[in-house]
Structure 1
Amino acid sequence: MKKLGAFISGKSGRWIILAAWIVLALVLNLTLPQANSQEDEQAETFLNDTNSEEAARIIEEEFSDNSGLPALLTWYQEDGLTDEDLQSIQQFSADLQEADIEAATVTPFQDIPLPALKEQLSDDGTTLVMPILFDNGTATDTVEAGLKKIQDTANDAFTQNPFEQDLNSGDLLVRATGPAGISVDAVGLFSQGDTTLLFGTVLIVLIFLLVIYRSPILALVPLIGVGFAYLVISPILGALGKAELISFDSQGLAIMTVLLFGAGTDYCLFLITRFRENLWELKSKKTAIVRSLSSASGAIAMSGLTVIVAMLVLLVADYGSINRFAIPFGIAIFIMLLASLTLVPALLTIIGRASFFPFIPRTEDMQEQRAKEKGKPVRTKKPQNKIGNSVGRLVIRHPWKIAIATIVVLGILAGISSRITYTYDTLSSFPDDMPSKEGFEILTDHVNAGELAPVSVITETDDPEAVRAALEELPYAATVMDPEQSESNDQLIRIQLELDENPYSNEAMAHIPDIKEAVSDTTGNADSVWIGGQTAEQYDTQQVTKHDEKWIIPIVIGFITLLLLTYLRSVTATIYLVATVLLSFFSALGLGWLILHYGFGVEAIQGFIPLYAFVFIVALGEDYNIFMISSIWKRSKTMPLKQAIADGVAHTGGVITSAGLILAATFAVLTTLPIQILVHFGTITAIGVLLDTFLVRPFLVPAITAILGKWAFWPWKKRIQQTEENEQKAHG
């Protein structure tokens, strides 16, 4: 790092580094596609076969006449659908037949006699469902284009477009719901948030940097570094996506943007802080940047490596969206590390002390010289972290009290995490005014919610009616359809079952094993029973996610433990550093649930959020521990351990607090989006970062270090010996 620092700080080196990043960004952006142009919203949900996927495959192959992705056009008239309304709907159906919507089959309502059509109304006569079936495997953008064409066609069939009428208007209205409508709305929500999230994240980082450092130039340096990293990352991911080497969706890119700006700014601040400290002591900015890179690069590289390893462990996941985080996120952090260790120091070298304008750090000699030139009295000054000094002294005076108090507080919050209710209901993450959610509410209130997504039961049997009878006996079965015969296998049948409740709810998912057991008992062969549909897919999501948690969490902990052990060479420190960050994770879950549930009325959070949050909170939280412990370790070589702890807390307090606030703020930007899964994830992750920043790092970790004393270094005998010698010198 000294050699790298010497090159970067050289007269030509700094410009070579800057030019290299500019050329790299230009070439990549001019020759490769952007990441958002290669988003794959149709990527596999499960990487290994599940029962519901097997069911979907069988349906497509053996029941192709009645398979596909349904869009349910839910018609509603508050005062009841009149004959005139129904005739208009029939004319609309005829118009859709002529519109030739790609990959869609429209139910020919115009061929149904009016009396027969009336029989399909809800009991109160207010609601009618018109199914439109899109072919299996149809891309989401094709479905979206089809639904848009359907809405445009309504302009000709109706005086007022029913798609645009408000729910409380009292006029005839329609909403597109069902699996097709829900998938289109989900993609639309994430794509709408891309630009908002990027600008919101940049703005919040800029504001925090301006407030913390009060320097307009310095506030731009980290953003330039992260910005160049982003310009390099996006086309690289786009090229890999186009080559089908990796896949990612809009949700993954949204979270990656937050991670990049939050973690990237942190790495820049670690270096900037060391640079400013050295400028107070060194006249040469070249020497200052070399020393800064030498002292900060280890902690920065270790912090980044921890995050990269944690992200790559996600490759173990069987759940697609979790697995797809691994490579893009790992690449993003790796490139950000390169930028923070090359581009950012080059910028600091070019700008020099002016980076910190108007609060420019100068050595005592420089301050004296400047005062003489202005004819003013000499007042040498160097900023002191009074709060950090106070916290450091408090920790070494009362380590037991502080350790016990923080553990009790965090332990209580962690205990609350066991009371969290989880959901896999996609609709629950939508804003109330989304068309698919409004359509679902109409179905729930006036028809049967199970009609939104029927359960498909597939089995091999020579007595289809016995299977149907077994399904009709289930207390939660609202409607059981007639058995459908396979196109190539006389023994294979499909029976569609409408539940009497929300098919996306936890209660509905809990019925899937019972449905399979009821059919298995009837046929006598559990291996030839497949359950398909959205409810079954959510049940498999729940099971696969739980399986992933059982593997990923221990592996992440194991790798982080190994990295810490390699870096610190202390078994004791490694154990309590890992333990404290785990405690902060569970505490974040508990506090996040209190805020979301009791503060905002959230009934349940998405089931895969704990795994998402775990990887980010544990990996990013360990960054701050590494940075602080590195400072304590370094000081313990030359001073008594207690003094090293106090100085280490004071020395790192400002930068870690600043970095933690910025990182938490970037994740909090997710809460401004109209997507509940990101709101919940952003809230819990931001809380985890804040707990690490204001409780674990300044109080719990140094308190435990003070309690353990020299044994915090065990089994590194050399450092224990140095500590003992420093203690002896301190006591004469």
Structure 2
Amino acid sequence: MRPPHLRRIRGLVPFALIAVWLVVGGLLGPFAGRLGEVATNDQAAFLPRSAESTRVLREQAAFRQRETLPVIVVWTADGGEAVTGRQRAATAATAGLAGTSGVTGAPSPALPSRDHAALQAVVPLRPDLGDRLVPTLERVRAAAGKVPGTRVRLAGPAATQADLTDAFSGIDGVLLGVALAAVLVILLLVYRSLLLPLVVIAGAVFALGLACAVVYALADHDLVRVDGQVQGILSILVIGAATDYALLVTARCREELAAGRDRHEAARAAVRRSAPAVLASAGTVALGLIALLLSDLTNNRALGPVGAVGIGCAVLSALTFLPAVLALLGRRAYWPAGPDGGPGAAGLWQRVAGLVDRAPRRVWALALTGLLLCSAGALTLDSRGVPLDETFVGHVPSVAAQQTLARHFPAGAGTPVVVLADAASASRVERTVRATPGVAAVTATGAGGRPTGKPRVVDGRVRLEATVKAAPDTRAARDTVARLRGSLHALPGANALVGGYTAQQYDTLRAAERDRTVIVPVVLAVILVILVLLLRSLAVPVLLVLTVALNFTATLGVAALVFHGLFGFSGTDPSVPLYGFVFLVALGVDYNIFLMSRVREETLRHGVREGVRRGLVTTGGVITSAGVVLAATFAALGVIPLAFLVQIAFIVSFGVLLDTLVVRSLLVPALVRDIGDRVWWPTRPERRVHGENGRRGTNRADDEAWTAARAARRAFRTR
């Protein structure tokens, strides 16, 4: 029997853990709304490190004092008439912006379009304005609005960045509220309890506050970069993961309470039995995210450690705060349903397990056929980038302004392609640029980046600007950049480099494609190693990795049809498949870990056939509930009006549901049941079962008697 003082100390542990988390929530909770203070949506900060356009940015600093973020002012005459000379003269009002706050250099003179129906001028802004960007643009709009009889629109990178900032403005509270509301409704339906869903959500919110505080500190010390996308994904990831792990822990605790254990012992047993699966599943997600450090894109590399921090905080909350509350509440946590209700209690999973047991080959054959048919659609998914008018969901001013600019001017006007080359080859380079298909005009730049007839030579280099015919964010413009580089790199002795906004977009796309070829195999290898260590088998881990990879390709196939036919997207950003893969594959393995760790546990006691049946019945409800919760939380990303996040939200949400309802519920159990004991190769759990027959029964009654005898021996030892 344990000494009384040890029992008293152990009884105080739950109170101490809850007190610590209450302090964490009170002190660090506000950081969940403060990440915007250290976030940046400046796309130049996320360029590929080794890209040619990045080298151009560094080298062209010698030609002008600082890099600029241009805003293109477009005037169109009211009623579609031609602009007058008086109106053109009035555009000089923008010249007065030179030297004002946020404006670097002098605005260009207003130039008329060929159809004389529009005017345009370029105002160079500082690229590091941050929160001051929107007020600066308003001052530009006010100055441009002094031209009578015209309508003013703002286009270009500065206007696009302002719309991105507006898309993320105030989204923290909305995103978190939508996610938590979805989780609360689902948990109320799952648990049929009033108190436990609130406890689970409190643990998730505490985890999010801790994660945001850690990320805030890292970003504040320039150890990671955070943008709006990373910020939104962090919130969703922590809420979803913390709820998933909480579902597993509470399900285990419910089983222990239903078996007659007291609340303290039930909570300890729940942690002891669920911790290996929780830690293994969290490890797959965290290490899968850490693999993003291999990316050449800064925002991808930032998501790796940021996401891993979030997963770590979710695990910490699920294995400390939640068990502490369960130890204090006991059976009251599940009121009014009680510990006998909740996930997995319905007879649905008994029927599913019976179907898998009776006809495993038919079940996995049908499931596999459906997934393969869906996977065929993945070949039609275009991941070569999207134009500006598909970047945002809904109407935004910068898109409308860019469309107006393209109707009256060469669409690349105001956002030129920058060419740097050796001065000795300047004439050859200029002729080559001018002859390149897709280029509308070429100008040389002198001091301060101003157009001149003869280029200025700096350190033996010259700088040219090429205006492309297509809009700077389109595939046609990127193709022009590719042609330019091909032609200029072939010029002997020119040492030409091609940069600028369009080239940056081109290099970002190429880097994203390279990331997929590097990171995907690494993530699969990491997951395989973790599964081998957890399940002590080689065959099962390979089987699980193949099934989650198949689930991913099937999801992409369905997404290709939905994006084009329902949402009207012509394609996706190249980073969408990578993000979808990392989240979907890592999180999909989570559910297979939950399932197969329980199947292995039951197999060691009852054999493969009964182990599959019991594992599916005991985990079916809780894992499916976890999948629905995770799908709902990721779907909340759809409230951010950006196509990138809407696409990520659909891929992860649909993929998680497909995994939990088809792959994990039917395909994997049926394959394991059909393959039999060989699936655990090189180990043989059946031998252990047969070897224990002398001290344990193999039928249900004998097993229950053995369990009761073991509990009696434990009780005797504790006295």
TM-score, with structure 2 as normaliser: 0.89
Instruction: Kindly indicate whether residue 532 of structure 2 is the aligned counterpart of residue 558 of structure 1.
Output: no
Q: Give me the whole-angstrom Cα distance separating, in 2, the residues matched to 1:325 and 1:660.
A: 22
Q: Give me the whole-angstrom Cα distance separating, in 2, the residues matched to 1:297 and 1:652.
A: 15
Instruction: Kindly indicate whether residue 107 of structure 2 is the aligned counterpart of residue 107 of structure 1.
Output: yes
TM-aligned CA distance change 1:572 to 1:723, over 3 Å: farther
1:720 Cα deviation from its structure 2 partner: 3.8
Instruction: Kindly indicate whether residue 418 of structure 2 is the aligned counterpart of residue 456 of structure 1.
Output: yes
1:481 is paired with a residue whose SS is strand
Q: Give me the whole-angstrom Cα distance separating, in 1, the residues matched to 2:604 and 2:459.
A: 80
- Letter of the 1:505 counterpart: T
1:48 is paired with a residue whose SS is coil
Which of 666, 686, 700 is residue 667 of structure 2 equivalent to? 700
Partner in structure 1 of residue 467 of structure 2: 498
Contact 2:378 2:557 in 1 (8 A): yes
Contact 2:97 2:103 in 1 (8 A): no
Instruction: Kindly indicate whether residue 93 of structure 2 is the aligned counterpart of residue 127 of structure 1.
Output: no
Contact 1:80 1:124 in 2 (8 A): no
* Pairs within 5 Å for 1:239-638: 239-361=217-339, 384-425=345-386, 427=388, 428-482=390-444, 489=458, 491-521=460-490, 523-525=491-493, 528-638=495-605
1:519 Cα deviation from its structure 2 partner: 2.3
Contact 2:288 2:586 in 1 (8 A): yes
Moved more, 467-476 or 80-89: 80-89
TM-aligned CA distance change 1:525 to 1:512, over 3 Å: farther
Q: Give me the whole-angstrom Cα distance separating, in 2, the residues matched to 1:92 and 1:356.
A: 69
TM-aligned CA distance change 1:8 to 1:446, over 3 Å: farther
Moved more, 24-33 or 391-400: 24-33
1:497 is paired with a residue whose SS is strand
Q: Give me the whole-angstrom Cα distance separating, in 2, the residues matched to 1:432 and 1:173.
A: 21
Which of 138, 148, 151 is residue 173 of structure 1 equivalent to? 151
- The number of residue pairs the alignment matches comes to 683
Contact 1:641 1:723 in 2 (8 A): no
2:285 is paired with a residue whose SS is helix
Contact 1:452 1:503 in 2 (8 A): no
1:220 is paired with a residue whose SS is helix
1:177 Cα deviation from its structure 2 partner: 1.2
Q: Give me the whole-angstrom Cα distance separating, in 2, the residues matched to 1:288 and 1:703.
A: 32
1:682 is paired with a residue whose SS is helix
Contact 1:460 1:493 in 2 (8 A): yes
Deviation string, structure 1 residues 169-222 (Cα, Å, up to 9, x no partner): xx7322211111112222221234222111111111111112222222111111
Contact 2:48 2:508 in 1 (8 A): no
Contact 2:94 2:140 in 1 (8 A): no
1:450 is paired with a residue whose SS is coil
Q: Structure 2: where are the runs of 5+ without partners? A: 1-5, 447-453, 703-719
Deviation string, structure 1 residues 503-534 (Cα, Å, up to 9, x no partner): 2122322232321222234x4136x1100112
2:167 is paired with a residue whose SS is helix
2:75 is paired with a residue whose SS is strand
Q: Give me the whole-angstrom Cα distance separating, in 2, the residues matched to 1:358 and 1:652.
A: 22
Deviation string, structure 1 residues 563-611 (Cα, Å, up to 9, x no partner): 1101111000010011101111111111111111112211111111111
Q: Structure 1: where are the runs of 5+ without partners? A: 1-5, 110-116, 160-170, 364-380
TM-aligned CA distance change 1:46 to 1:30, over 3 Å: closer
TM-aligned CA distance change 1:413 to 1:8, over 3 Å: farther
Q: Identity rate of aligned residues, in percent? A: 27
Partner in structure 2 of residue 35 of structure 1: 35
Contact 2:97 2:107 in 1 (8 A): no
1:712 is paired with a residue whose SS is helix
Q: Give me the whole-angstrom Cα distance separating, in 2, the residues matched to 1:203 and 1:494.
A: 55
- Letter of the 1:255 counterpart: I
Instruction: Kindly indicate whether residue 190 of structure 2 is the aligned counterpart of residue 189 of structure 1.
Output: no
Deviation string, structure 1 residues 589-647 (Cα, Å, up to 9, x no partner): 11111111112211111111111111101111111001111111111122232122122
Instruction: Kindly indicate whether residue 192 of structure 2 is the aligned counterpart of residue 214 of structure 1.
Output: yes
User: In angstroms, what is the RMSD of aligned CA positions?
Assistant: 2.8
Q: Give me the whole-angstrom Cα distance separating, in 1, the residues matched to 2:456 and 2:423.
A: 15
1:47 Cα deviation from its structure 2 partner: 5.2
TM-aligned CA distance change 1:195 to 1:487, over 3 Å: farther
Q: Give me the whole-angstrom Cα distance separating, in 2, the residues matched to 1:626 and 1:389.
A: 20
- Letter of the 1:132 counterpart: V
Deviation string, structure 1 residues 473-528 (Cα, Å, up to 9, x no partner): 2232222224656655374222211222122122322232321222234x4136x1
Q: Give me the whole-angstrom Cα distance separating, in 1, the residues matched to 2:53 and 2:292.
A: 23
Instruction: Kindly indicate whether residue 128 of structure 2 is the aligned counterpart of residue 150 of structure 1.
Output: no
TM-aligned CA distance change 1:342 to 1:511, over 3 Å: same
Contact 1:570 1:715 in 2 (8 A): yes
1:695 Cα deviation from its structure 2 partner: 0.6
Partner in structure 2 of residue 164 of structure 1: none
Contact 1:194 1:250 in 2 (8 A): no
Moved more, 700-709 or 412-421: 412-421
TM-aligned CA distance change 1:46 to 1:446, over 3 Å: closer
- Letter of the 1:141 counterpart: D
Q: Give me the whole-angstrom Cα distance separating, in 2, the residues matched to 1:223 and 1:101.
A: 45
Q: Give me the whole-angstrom Cα distance separating, in 1, the residues matched to 2:31 and 2:380.
A: 51
1:72 Cα deviation from its structure 2 partner: 0.2
Deviation string, structure 1 residues 436-473 (Cα, Å, up to 9, x no partner): 11111101222221215221122114253332222222
Partner in structure 1 of residue 74 of structure 2: 74
Moved more, 213-222 or 335-344: 213-222
Which of 175, 178, 183 is residue 205 of structure 1 equivalent to? 183
- Letter of the 1:624 counterpart: Y
Q: Give me the whole-angstrom Cα distance separating, in 2, the residues matched to 1:399 and 1:184.
A: 56
Moved more, 124-133 or 44-53: 44-53
Q: Give me the whole-angstrom Cα distance separating, in 1, the residues matched to 2:156 and 2:241.
A: 39
* Pairs within 5 Å for 1:46-57: 46=47, 48-57=49-58
Q: Give me the whole-angstrom Cα distance separating, in 2, the residues matched to 1:40 and 1:506.
A: 26
Q: Give me the whole-angstrom Cα distance separating, in 2, the residues matched to 1:281 and 1:360.
A: 13
TM-aligned CA distance change 1:251 to 1:245, over 3 Å: same
Q: Give me the whole-angstrom Cα distance separating, in 2, the residues matched to 1:144 and 1:584.
A: 43
Contact 1:457 1:532 in 2 (8 A): yes
TM-aligned CA distance change 1:460 to 1:425, over 3 Å: farther
Partner in structure 1 of residue 97 of structure 2: 96
TM-aligned CA distance change 1:143 to 1:398, over 3 Å: same
Deviation string, structure 1 residues 677-708 (Cα, Å, up to 9, x no partner): 10011111111111111111011111110121
